[in-house]
Amino acid sequence: MATLAISCCTSMIILLLLLELLAQVEARAFFVFGDSLVDNGNNNYLATTARADSPPYGIDYPTRRATGRFSNGFNIPDFISQQIGSQPTLPYLSPDLNGQRLLVGANFASAGIGILNDTGIQFLNIIRMSRQLDYFLEYQQRVSALIGRKQRRELVNRALVLITVGGNDFVNNYYLVPNSARSLQFSLPNYVEFLISEYRKILIRLYKLGARRVLVTGTGPMGCAPAELAMRSSNGECSAELQRAAALYNPQLDQMLKDLNRKVGRDVFISTNTQLMRNNFITNPQAYGFSTSKIACCGQGPYNGLGLCTRLSNLCPNRELNAFWDAFHPSEKANRLIVQQIMTGSADYMNPMNLSTIMALDSRT
Ligand SMILES: *[C@@H]1O[C@H](CO)[C@@H](O)[C@H](O)[C@H]1NC(C)=O
Ligand SMILES: *[C@@H]1O[C@H](CO)[C@@H](O)[C@H](O)[C@H]1NC(C)=O
């Protein structure tokens, strides 16, 4: 009797494990590239000042611990993972990312990086874009060893990819200091053109590495971040310079993605208009249940926009009321609203299609 009970349970467990493995293979993998808006904690493993691994970061995360996400709770990749029915992606540098967990995907993003290699040099050791792509190749070699090359190629081709980069090329490069090297080298329109041409190379490499569905976000309304209100604005108006940069950059990014799609002959790159999504909260915070879109929840100085968010900072009691968590990053609630638009937004937000449509299309092929 006893042995029978054991063998029944053992086979049940094996069956459950097999089902779980199948579910992981069936669920779509998710890969994330970019900067602090999407970093799930890679920088925790690096010698850099760009990190979010101490309180009050993570105060509303399920574990109530700082994870390296630049949010009070979940970030944009977390909400996308939830929508596609996956576990959150682990940071690529996490020692826990091995075995079957590799099949869920991986997060290669690193706070502080930009399109250009010289963006974020003040943060020292961070994973620049070309290195993130090198790691993606290395990841694929590890997955091939696990499930074979053919299956690996399928996993990567079927995956959803998110890339969020570009804001730091303005904030932490061109506009970092007056008369920065890049601002002496380029006029703003020429700098934007240069960024777009460098970004194009990155996306082509991503395509060559097998990515076939890539959500590409533009920059947000950078001039309206609490940091910029604190440093560049006298009456709480958004910084005109940075708004001009976003207004030049985003339409050219959109156009570049259209051209790339035409070149590869399919809708690989999805233009994700985070500028418009976030402008909605900024122009009418109350409509989204926020009490303010100017004042960061965590920080100090005007608009809580100066310096870093630390234990010593001001901290708002109700994080659902602030569109910004810290001087640069959206709150968990804002991230949730952004991902709702990614899922169901009209063509103004998601071009040529939203994520619901992508999921419906791809499940049929
Ligand atoms: C950035 O750095 C990488 C690695 O050092 C190099 O391969 C790449 O060409 C650089 N990109 C540019 C635009 O200089
Ligand atoms: C997604 O986009 C399509 C096309 O723009 C639109 O018709 C649809 O209502 C959007 N939402 C959902 C949930 O598909």
Task: Report which protein residue has its CA nearest ligand 1's atom 4.
Answer: 130
Structure tokens at 111: 């706070």
Measured distance CA(33)–CA(283) in Å, rounded: 29
Global pTM? 0.92
Q: Which tokens is 215 given?
A: 């959500």
Tell me if 98 CB under 6 Å of ligand 1.
no
Buried b vs exposed e over 317-334: b needs ≥16 C-beta within 10 Å?
A: eebbbbbbbbbbbbbbbb
How large a percentage of the chain has pLDDT more than 90? 90
Ligand 1 center–CA 117 separation, angstroms = 6
- Whether 356 sits among the annotated catalytic residues: the reply is no
| 39 tagged catalytic | no
Least-confidence region, from 107-116, 157-166, 274-283, 319-328: 274-283
Which pLDDT band, with edges at 50, 70 and 90, does 234 fall under?
confident
Residue with CA nearest ligand 1 atom 2: 117
For residue 273 the two structure tokens come to 């208009």
Whether ligand 1 lies within 6 angstroms of the CB of 198 is answered as yes
The response to whether residue 356 sits with its C-beta less than 6 Å from ligand 2 reads yes
172 pLDDT tier (thresholds 50, 70, 90): very high
361 alpha carbon – ligand 1 mean position (Å): 36
Q: Tell me the C-alpha distance between 228 and 37, whole Å.
A: 17
Which band of pLDDT confidence, cut at 50, 70 and 90, is reported for residue 290?
very high
Q: Average pLDDT in the 256-278 region?
A: 96
Query: Which atom of ligand 1 is found nearest the CA of 131?
Result: 4
Task: Report strand pairing: 214-217 vs 269-272.
Answer: parallel
User: From the alpha carbon of 129, which atom of ligand 1 is closest?
Assistant: 1
Per-residue pLDDT band for 110 (boundaries 50, 70, 90) equals very high
**Helix/strand/coil percent split, the chain, to 5:** 50, 10, 40
- Kind of pairing, strands 105-107 and 30-34? parallel
Provide the pLDDT for residue 203: 98
Task: Give the DSSP letter of residue 321.
Answer: G
Angle at 342 between CA 66 and CA 97, to 5 degrees: 40
User: Could you read off the pLDDT of 344-359 as tens digits, one per residue?
Assistant: 999 999 999 999 999 9
Among candidate residues 35, 39, 169, 326, the one labeled active-site is 326
Ligand approaching nearest to the C-alpha of 131: 1
Q: Which of 36, 71, 233, 293 is catalytic?
A: 36
What was the pLDDT predicted at 30? 98
> How confident is the model at residue 1, as a pLDDT?
43
In order of their start, the domains of the chain are 27-363 (3.40.50.1110)
Nearest residue (by CA) to ligand 1, atom 8, is 130
Do 96 and 57 meet the contact criterion of CB atoms below 8 Å apart?
A: no
Would the CB of 130 count as within 6 Å of ligand 1? Answer: yes
| Choice among 175-179, 233-237, 361-365 with the minimum mean pLDDT | 361-365
pLDDT per residue as tens digits for the range 13-50 = 666 665 555 555 467 999 999 999 999 999 999 999 99
3 pLDDT more than 60: no
Q: What angle do CA 65, 67, 72 make, to 5 degrees?
A: 70
